[in-house]
Amino acid sequence: MALLQRRFLLRAFSASALLPLAARAHHGWSGFDQDRPLYLEGRAAKVRWANPHAEIDLELPAEPRLPPDLKQRALPAQTAPVDGPALLAKAQLPTRRDRLWTIELAPLTRLGAWKLEEIAPGTALSVIGYAASGERGDAVLRAEYVFVGGKAYGLRSSPA
């Protein structure tokens, strides 16, 4: 009996040790500064098109810039109440100088609803999204909108 109890406890401990990794792999919006939308553009260096959400390693140019027409870009309607024009108006460049950012997109089912094809490495794209408060930690941006091939995709929810 004691041997079975030890095995059970060992398995339970091993499983509980993995919980923080699982929680980090799939998280909500709470860790991101939604009052400070950031704009990034560059080329996809690496793409992970898988659930819980697709990710892109985006390589930024040496001198990032905000495009002069950013505030006038057309945005698609989505089912979540997102004020896209306000995000475009508030978007700014990050203060950190990382040249490689991890961009977190939506789950594959939502990307499919938007008819966003898998993004290939080397593809030019831009995103508006949110980093951690104060841009702390890794260079990670949770995408709200992604612009690929002249088309905009809203990622918070499905198309309206």
CATH code of the domain covering residue 82: 2.40.50.140
* Inter-CA distances, 60 with 42, 131, 142, Å: 4, 15, 16
pLDDT of 20: 42
Determine the average pLDDT of the residues in 60-86: 95
Q: Could you tell me the CA-to-CA distances from 122 to 6, 56, 112, 158 in Å, in that order?
A: 51, 11, 21, 26
The answer to whether residue 84 scores a pLDDT higher than 70 is yes
- Specify the number of domains making up the chain: 1
pLDDT band at 120 (very low <50, low <70, confident <90, very high): very high
| pLDDT at residue 1, as a whole number | 53
- For residue 92, the SS3 value is strand
Residue 121: inside a domain, yes or no?
A: yes
Residue 9 located in a structural domain: no
127 domain residue, yes or no: yes
Residue 145 lies in domain: 32-154
Global pTM reads 0.81
| pLDDT-based confidence at residue 13 (cuts at 50, 70, 90) | very low
Place 3 in a pLDDT band, splitting at 50, 70 and 90.
very low
8 domain-assigned: no
User: Span 142-158, mean pLDDT?
Assistant: 95
Q: Is the predicted pLDDT of residue 94 greater than 50, yes or no?
A: yes
Tell me which of 25-34, 74-83, 96-105, 141-150 is least confident: 25-34
Whether 126 is in a domain gets the answer: yes
- Confirm whether 11 is domain-assigned: no
Residue 10 scores a pLDDT above 80: no
For residue 108, pLDDT over 50 is answered with yes
pLDDT at 32: 80
**For residue 13, is it within any domain?**
no
Cβ-based neighbours of 85, under 8 Å, separated by 6 or more = 71, 75
Residue 36 lies in a domain: yes
